[in-house]
Amino acid sequence: MTSICQVCNLLANPGTRHCKLCNKCVGGYDHHCRWMNTCIGDANYGLFMAFVAAALLYITVML
């Protein structure tokens, strides 16, 4: 069942939330990442986890 976003007046699937910073609806919205300057949701969750893993690896190597 779909609903209508109250902010952008578009059809949205369940689990979709509107990001105030990006001003768009994001499926499976988790949070807005300031370092990547994008919303983290279903479409890019794997990419975000790869970014976090690479950052941890970089810190480990530098220490």
DSSP 41: S
For the chain, the straight-line distance linking the first and the last C-alpha, in angstroms and rounded, comes to 50
Contact by Cβ (8 Å): 41, 30: yes
Residues 50-61: what's their mean pLDDT?
96
- Residue 1, pLDDT > 70, answer no
Residues that are catalytic: 33
- Provide the whole-model pTM: 0.66
pLDDT of residue 33: 87
C-alpha–C-alpha distance, residues 49 and 2, integer Å: 28
C-alpha–C-alpha distance, residues 22 and 43, integer Å: 15
Domain edges within the chain: 3-62
Within 8 A by CB and 6+ apart from 22, the residues are: 32, 38, 39
pLDDT tens track for 7-48: 888 888 888 899 999 899 998 888 998 888 889 888 888 888
Confidence of residue 6 (pLDDT cuts 50, 70, 90): confident
